[in-house]
Amino acid sequence: MPRVSQGQAGARIVKPELIAAMVVSNLNDDLRKKPWRGHPNPLAGHCYVASEALFHLLGGRERGWRARTVRFHGANHWFLEHPALGILDVTAAQYDDPVPYHESRGRGFLTTQPSKRAREVIERVKEKAQ
């Protein structure tokens, strides 16, 4: 289980990078949509579902997180941004060149509640965290 510390009024604080690592460790081919299934890069095709799951696991808008996208290598690339913590992009390592975050724009996810794929990632993370 990730390390947590007590915040104000006993609130539990979990470091985003620990949750991010847990999300990445639970990404696999069954979560990818076509045309990404079978891709040799283990991060390719996971930016949306990883960002969506992280958004919900980290507390979403109430905790300052925003979903963003940038057109990159012919597709939309999703990641999160926080005003104090900066960019959290757990699938950026799929690229050999830097993601042009300065060209990104704020976006909302397709659903307000976690999608089926994001729910699967969230459940996997919670199971391993117990």
Rg (CA), the chain: 15
Q: Where are the domains of the chain?
A: 4-129
For residue 120, give the H/E element and its range: helix 116-129
Q: What is the pLDDT of residues 30-70, one digit of tens each?
A: 999 988 999 999 999 999 999 999 999 999 999 999 999 99
Using a 10 angstrom Cβ sphere, with 0-12 exposed, 13-18 middle and 19 or more buried, the burial of residue 64 is middle
The chain-wide mean pLDDT, for the chain, equals: 88
State residue 70's pLDDT score.
97
How many Å apart are CA 16 and CA 5, to the nearest integer?
13
- For the chain, give the percent of residues with pLDDT over 70: 89
What would the DSSP string read from start to end of 64-102? T-EEEEEEETTEEEEEEEETTTEEE-TTGGG-SS---GG
pLDDT tens digits, one per residue of 64-87: 999 999 999 999 999 999 999 999
95-108 mean pLDDT: 95
